[in-house]
Amino acid sequence: MKIPFVLKNMGWIFGGLLLFCSCSSVVQTDGEEPLTYQVFYDHLSPYGTWIEYPGYGAVWNPNIRGDFSPYLTNGHWQATTAGWAWVSGYSWGWATFHYGRWYYDNRFGWLWIPGYEWSPAWVVWGSAADYYCWAPLMPGIDVTIIYDSWSPPPFYWNLCPRPYLTHTHLHHNTIRGDGVRPGTRINTLRNFQTTSTHHLYYATGPAFEEVQRETRTTITPIPIETSKSIPNRATSTGMRVYSPSIETPEMQQRRSAKPIPSVYRSADMPRQNSTTPTIPDIQRKTQRNNIKSLPQERSTKRR
Protein backbone atom coordinates (compact mmCIF):
# COMPACT_ATOMS: atom_id res chain seq x y z
CA MET A 1 0.00 0.00 0.00
CA LYS A 2 1.49 3.30 -1.06
CA ILE A 3 1.28 5.92 1.66
CA PRO A 4 1.24 9.54 0.55
CA PHE A 5 4.08 11.80 1.56
CA VAL A 6 2.08 13.46 4.29
CA LEU A 7 4.20 16.51 4.96
CA LYS A 8 4.16 17.72 1.38
CA ASN A 9 0.92 19.63 1.57
CA MET A 10 0.22 19.67 5.28
CA GLY A 11 -0.13 23.01 7.03
CA TRP A 12 0.89 23.36 10.61
CA ILE A 13 -1.18 25.58 12.84
CA PHE A 14 -0.29 25.99 16.44
CA GLY A 15 -2.06 27.92 19.11
CA GLY A 16 -1.47 28.81 22.71
CA LEU A 17 0.65 27.26 25.40
CA LEU A 18 -0.50 24.04 26.95
CA LEU A 19 -2.13 24.55 30.32
CA PHE A 20 -2.70 20.94 31.18
CA CYS A 21 -0.40 18.97 33.48
CA SER A 22 -1.48 16.02 35.59
CA CYS A 23 1.37 16.06 38.10
CA SER A 24 4.74 17.58 38.81
CA SER A 25 7.06 14.57 38.99
CA VAL A 26 10.14 14.87 36.80
CA VAL A 27 12.07 12.16 35.01
CA GLN A 28 15.62 11.95 36.33
CA THR A 29 18.50 12.17 33.87
CA ASP A 30 21.62 11.76 35.96
CA GLY A 31 24.76 9.85 35.02
CA GLU A 32 28.53 10.33 34.78
CA GLU A 33 29.09 10.17 31.02
CA PRO A 34 27.31 12.93 29.06
CA LEU A 35 25.07 12.02 26.16
CA THR A 36 26.19 13.40 22.80
CA TYR A 37 25.28 12.71 19.21
CA GLN A 38 28.52 10.76 18.97
CA VAL A 39 27.01 8.20 21.33
CA PHE A 40 24.02 7.78 19.03
CA TYR A 41 26.22 7.47 15.94
CA ASP A 42 28.50 4.88 17.50
CA HIS A 43 25.81 2.66 18.97
CA LEU A 44 23.23 2.80 16.18
CA SER A 45 25.52 2.49 13.14
CA PRO A 46 25.73 -1.34 13.29
CA TYR A 47 21.93 -1.55 13.10
CA GLY A 48 21.12 0.95 10.38
CA THR A 49 22.26 3.70 8.03
CA TRP A 50 22.82 7.38 8.77
CA ILE A 51 21.35 9.68 6.14
CA GLU A 52 21.66 13.43 5.66
CA TYR A 53 18.03 14.41 5.27
CA PRO A 54 16.90 17.85 4.05
CA GLY A 55 15.60 19.94 6.91
CA TYR A 56 16.53 17.45 9.64
CA GLY A 57 20.25 16.84 9.21
CA ALA A 58 21.61 13.41 10.15
CA VAL A 59 18.84 10.84 10.62
CA TRP A 60 18.96 7.08 11.17
CA ASN A 61 17.24 4.39 9.11
CA PRO A 62 17.03 0.98 10.88
CA ASN A 63 17.93 -2.16 8.97
CA ILE A 64 14.82 -4.23 9.66
CA ARG A 65 13.35 -6.81 7.35
CA GLY A 66 9.60 -6.80 6.88
CA ASP A 67 7.13 -4.35 8.35
CA PHE A 68 8.29 -2.05 11.11
CA SER A 69 6.35 0.52 13.06
CA PRO A 70 7.86 2.52 15.96
CA TYR A 71 6.20 1.95 19.31
CA LEU A 72 4.51 -1.20 18.02
CA THR A 73 7.01 -3.70 16.58
CA ASN A 74 8.95 -5.83 19.08
CA GLY A 75 7.92 -4.10 22.29
CA HIS A 76 5.18 -3.40 24.81
CA TRP A 77 3.89 -0.79 27.25
CA GLN A 78 4.93 -0.82 30.91
CA ALA A 79 3.30 1.21 33.66
CA THR A 80 5.91 3.29 35.51
CA THR A 81 5.88 6.14 37.99
CA ALA A 82 6.74 8.40 35.03
CA GLY A 83 3.80 7.20 32.93
CA TRP A 84 3.44 4.48 30.31
CA ALA A 85 6.94 3.60 29.08
CA TRP A 86 7.83 1.70 25.92
CA VAL A 87 9.93 -1.41 26.57
CA SER A 88 11.68 -2.38 23.33
CA GLY A 89 13.06 -5.76 22.36
CA TYR A 90 15.66 -4.10 20.12
CA SER A 91 19.15 -3.56 21.49
CA TRP A 92 19.03 -0.01 20.11
CA GLY A 93 15.63 0.78 21.61
CA TRP A 94 17.18 2.65 24.55
CA ALA A 95 17.86 5.53 22.14
CA THR A 96 15.18 5.55 19.48
CA PHE A 97 12.11 5.16 21.69
CA HIS A 98 13.19 7.45 24.53
CA TYR A 99 15.13 10.17 22.72
CA GLY A 100 14.33 11.98 19.49
CA ARG A 101 11.40 11.56 17.11
CA TRP A 102 10.23 9.40 14.22
CA TYR A 103 9.27 10.50 10.73
CA TYR A 104 7.96 8.48 7.77
CA ASP A 105 9.43 8.92 4.31
CA ASN A 106 8.07 7.16 1.21
CA ARG A 107 11.53 6.28 -0.03
CA PHE A 108 13.31 5.18 3.14
CA GLY A 109 10.44 4.23 5.44
CA TRP A 110 10.68 5.18 9.11
CA LEU A 111 13.53 7.54 10.01
CA TRP A 112 14.69 8.43 13.50
CA ILE A 113 15.75 12.02 14.20
CA PRO A 114 18.12 12.21 17.22
CA GLY A 115 17.15 14.28 20.26
CA TYR A 116 18.58 15.25 23.63
CA GLU A 117 15.60 14.75 25.92
CA TRP A 118 14.62 11.44 27.60
CA SER A 119 11.04 10.42 28.23
CA PRO A 120 9.21 7.11 28.71
CA ALA A 121 8.00 7.48 25.10
CA TRP A 122 7.73 10.38 22.67
CA VAL A 123 4.20 9.72 21.49
CA VAL A 124 0.80 11.35 21.49
CA TRP A 125 -1.91 9.30 23.22
CA GLY A 126 -5.57 9.17 22.30
CA SER A 127 -8.75 7.13 22.52
CA ALA A 128 -11.35 6.09 19.98
CA ALA A 129 -14.42 4.11 20.97
CA ASP A 130 -13.11 0.86 22.49
CA TYR A 131 -9.47 1.53 21.59
CA TYR A 132 -6.44 3.11 23.17
CA CYS A 133 -4.40 4.92 20.53
CA TRP A 134 -0.88 6.26 20.24
CA ALA A 135 1.31 7.68 17.49
CA PRO A 136 4.96 8.76 17.28
CA LEU A 137 5.49 12.47 17.69
CA MET A 138 7.02 14.03 14.59
CA PRO A 139 10.03 16.35 14.67
CA GLY A 140 9.11 19.86 15.74
CA ILE A 141 5.92 18.73 17.50
CA ASP A 142 5.70 18.51 21.26
CA VAL A 143 2.97 18.74 23.81
CA THR A 144 3.95 22.20 25.02
CA ILE A 145 1.69 23.40 22.22
CA ILE A 146 -2.03 22.85 21.97
CA TYR A 147 -2.47 20.94 18.74
CA ASP A 148 -6.26 20.99 18.40
CA SER A 149 -5.75 21.87 14.74
CA TRP A 150 -3.04 19.23 14.29
CA SER A 151 -3.05 15.47 14.56
CA PRO A 152 -0.71 12.74 13.33
CA PRO A 153 -1.34 11.40 9.83
CA PRO A 154 -3.82 8.49 10.02
CA PHE A 155 -1.19 5.84 9.27
CA TYR A 156 0.95 6.99 12.21
CA TRP A 157 -1.71 5.83 14.66
CA ASN A 158 -1.87 2.47 16.37
CA LEU A 159 -5.24 1.36 17.74
CA CYS A 160 -5.29 -1.30 20.44
CA PRO A 161 -8.47 -2.77 21.97
CA ARG A 162 -8.49 -1.52 25.54
CA PRO A 163 -8.31 -4.96 27.22
CA TYR A 164 -5.01 -5.72 25.42
CA LEU A 165 -2.98 -2.61 26.25
CA THR A 166 -0.81 -4.39 28.81
CA HIS A 167 -0.10 -7.48 26.68
CA THR A 168 3.55 -8.15 25.93
CA HIS A 169 2.68 -9.28 22.39
CA LEU A 170 0.83 -6.08 21.71
CA HIS A 171 1.18 -6.14 17.93
CA HIS A 172 -1.01 -9.24 17.60
CA ASN A 173 -4.10 -7.29 18.63
CA THR A 174 -3.29 -3.79 17.42
CA ILE A 175 -4.58 -2.21 14.24
CA ARG A 176 -1.62 -0.87 12.30
CA GLY A 177 -1.67 2.74 11.24
CA ASP A 178 -2.28 2.00 7.58
CA GLY A 179 -5.38 0.05 8.55
CA VAL A 180 -7.04 2.98 10.32
CA ARG A 181 -10.09 4.14 8.44
CA PRO A 182 -9.98 7.70 7.07
CA GLY A 183 -12.10 9.99 9.21
CA THR A 184 -11.65 7.92 12.37
CA ARG A 185 -12.10 10.32 15.26
CA ILE A 186 -9.37 10.00 17.87
CA ASN A 187 -9.63 12.14 20.99
CA THR A 188 -6.28 13.26 22.38
CA LEU A 189 -5.53 12.34 25.99
CA ARG A 190 -4.13 15.28 27.96
CA ASN A 191 -2.17 13.65 30.76
CA PHE A 192 1.35 15.01 31.08
CA GLN A 193 4.56 15.15 33.08
CA THR A 194 7.79 17.07 32.48
CA THR A 195 11.37 16.16 31.73
CA SER A 196 14.14 17.55 33.87
CA THR A 197 16.68 18.82 31.32
CA HIS A 198 14.60 21.31 29.33
CA HIS A 199 11.33 20.89 31.24
CA LEU A 200 9.42 19.67 28.23
CA TYR A 201 6.02 18.09 28.62
CA TYR A 202 5.45 14.53 27.44
CA ALA A 203 2.27 12.46 27.32
CA THR A 204 1.95 9.87 30.08
CA GLY A 205 -0.94 7.94 28.53
CA PRO A 206 -4.24 6.69 29.95
CA ALA A 207 -4.84 6.75 33.70
CA PHE A 208 -3.73 3.59 35.49
CA GLU A 209 -7.06 3.24 37.29
CA GLU A 210 -8.90 3.27 33.98
CA VAL A 211 -6.59 0.70 32.42
CA GLN A 212 -7.12 -1.54 35.44
CA ARG A 213 -10.85 -1.50 34.81
CA GLU A 214 -10.48 -2.06 31.07
CA THR A 215 -7.93 -4.87 31.33
CA ARG A 216 -9.28 -6.39 34.57
CA THR A 217 -5.74 -6.62 35.87
CA THR A 218 -3.83 -4.95 38.69
CA ILE A 219 -1.64 -2.11 37.44
CA THR A 220 1.36 -1.49 39.69
CA PRO A 221 3.61 1.27 38.31
CA ILE A 222 7.30 0.50 38.68
CA PRO A 223 9.92 3.20 39.34
CA ILE A 224 12.30 4.51 36.71
CA GLU A 225 15.90 3.82 37.72
CA THR A 226 18.71 5.54 35.86
CA SER A 227 21.68 3.47 34.78
CA LYS A 228 25.24 4.18 33.60
CA SER A 229 25.05 1.26 31.16
CA ILE A 230 23.06 1.36 27.95
CA PRO A 231 20.83 -1.75 27.98
CA ASN A 232 17.32 -1.11 29.29
CA ARG A 233 15.64 -3.62 31.57
CA ALA A 234 12.17 -3.76 33.03
CA THR A 235 11.42 -6.00 36.00
CA SER A 236 8.67 -6.15 38.58
CA THR A 237 10.68 -3.83 40.82
CA GLY A 238 11.79 -1.16 38.36
CA MET A 239 12.76 -0.11 34.85
CA ARG A 240 16.46 0.63 34.39
CA VAL A 241 17.13 3.16 31.64
CA TYR A 242 20.21 4.79 30.17
CA SER A 243 19.65 8.41 31.01
CA PRO A 244 22.93 10.32 31.42
CA SER A 245 23.55 14.03 31.72
CA ILE A 246 23.22 16.09 28.55
CA GLU A 247 26.13 17.85 26.90
CA THR A 248 25.20 20.98 24.97
CA PRO A 249 26.78 21.82 21.59
CA GLU A 250 28.97 24.45 23.23
CA MET A 251 30.29 21.86 25.70
CA GLN A 252 30.88 19.37 22.91
CA GLN A 253 33.07 21.84 21.03
CA ARG A 254 35.43 21.85 24.00
CA ARG A 255 35.77 18.06 23.83
CA SER A 256 37.67 16.06 21.22
CA ALA A 257 35.27 13.90 19.22
CA LYS A 258 35.97 10.52 17.68
CA PRO A 259 35.40 10.15 13.93
CA ILE A 260 31.78 9.79 12.90
CA PRO A 261 30.94 6.30 11.54
CA SER A 262 31.59 5.93 7.83
CA VAL A 263 28.21 4.35 6.98
CA TYR A 264 26.52 7.45 5.68
CA ARG A 265 24.70 8.65 2.60
CA SER A 266 22.70 11.59 1.36
CA ALA A 267 18.95 11.45 0.92
CA ASP A 268 19.46 13.35 -2.35
CA MET A 269 15.99 14.81 -2.06
CA PRO A 270 14.56 18.32 -2.52
CA ARG A 271 14.27 20.36 0.62
CA GLN A 272 10.82 20.44 2.17
CA ASN A 273 8.76 23.62 2.15
CA SER A 274 8.73 26.09 5.01
CA THR A 275 5.68 24.48 6.62
CA THR A 276 7.66 21.33 7.45
CA PRO A 277 8.41 21.29 11.20
CA THR A 278 12.11 21.22 11.94
CA ILE A 279 14.16 20.09 14.90
CA PRO A 280 15.03 22.57 17.69
CA ASP A 281 18.04 24.83 17.15
CA ILE A 282 20.02 23.13 19.93
CA GLN A 283 19.78 19.82 18.03
CA ARG A 284 20.33 21.31 14.57
CA LYS A 285 23.56 23.01 15.66
CA THR A 286 24.89 19.77 17.08
CA GLN A 287 24.03 17.81 13.96
CA ARG A 288 25.63 20.43 11.75
CA ASN A 289 28.90 20.07 13.67
CA ASN A 290 28.80 16.29 13.34
CA ILE A 291 27.85 16.33 9.67
CA LYS A 292 31.02 18.25 8.84
CA SER A 293 32.99 15.17 9.86
CA LEU A 294 30.89 12.74 7.85
CA PRO A 295 32.23 11.36 4.56
CA GLN A 296 30.33 12.83 1.65
CA GLU A 297 29.05 9.61 0.08
CA ARG A 298 25.99 10.07 -2.09
CA SER A 299 23.74 7.20 -3.05
CA THR A 300 21.19 6.73 -5.82
CA LYS A 301 19.87 3.50 -4.33
CA ARG A 302 16.12 3.50 -4.01
CA ARG A 303 13.82 1.31 -2.00
- Detail the DSSP E strand segments found in the chain: 15-17, 26-27, 48-53, 57-62, 75-80, 83-88, 101-105, 109-113, 123-128, 131-136, 145-146, 158-161, 187-188, 192-195, 201-203, 224-227, 233-234, 239-242, 264-266
Mean residue pLDDT of the chain comes to 72
Residue 140: what pLDDT?
81
Higher local confidence (pLDDT), 159 or 292: 159
pLDDT band of residue 254 (cuts 50, 70, 90) is very low
Report the pLDDT averaged over residues 275-281.
41
Residue 111: what pLDDT?
98
Torsion angle in degrees (nearest 10) through CA of 289, 293, 294, 298: 90
Give residue-wise pLDDT tens across range 211-225.
999 999 999 998 888
Residue 28: what pLDDT?
38
pLDDT band of residue 165 (cuts 50, 70, 90) is very high
pLDDT band of residue 3 (cuts 50, 70, 90) is very low
Whether 5 has a pLDDT exceeding 80, the answer reads no
CA distance 127 to 266: 38
Higher local confidence (pLDDT), 251 or 45: 45
Chain centre distance of CA 66: 20
Give residue-wise pLDDT tens across range 80-136.
999 999 999 999 999 999 999 999 999 999 999 999 888 999 999 999 989 999 999
pTM: 0.72
Closest CA to 94 of 234, 262, 249: 234
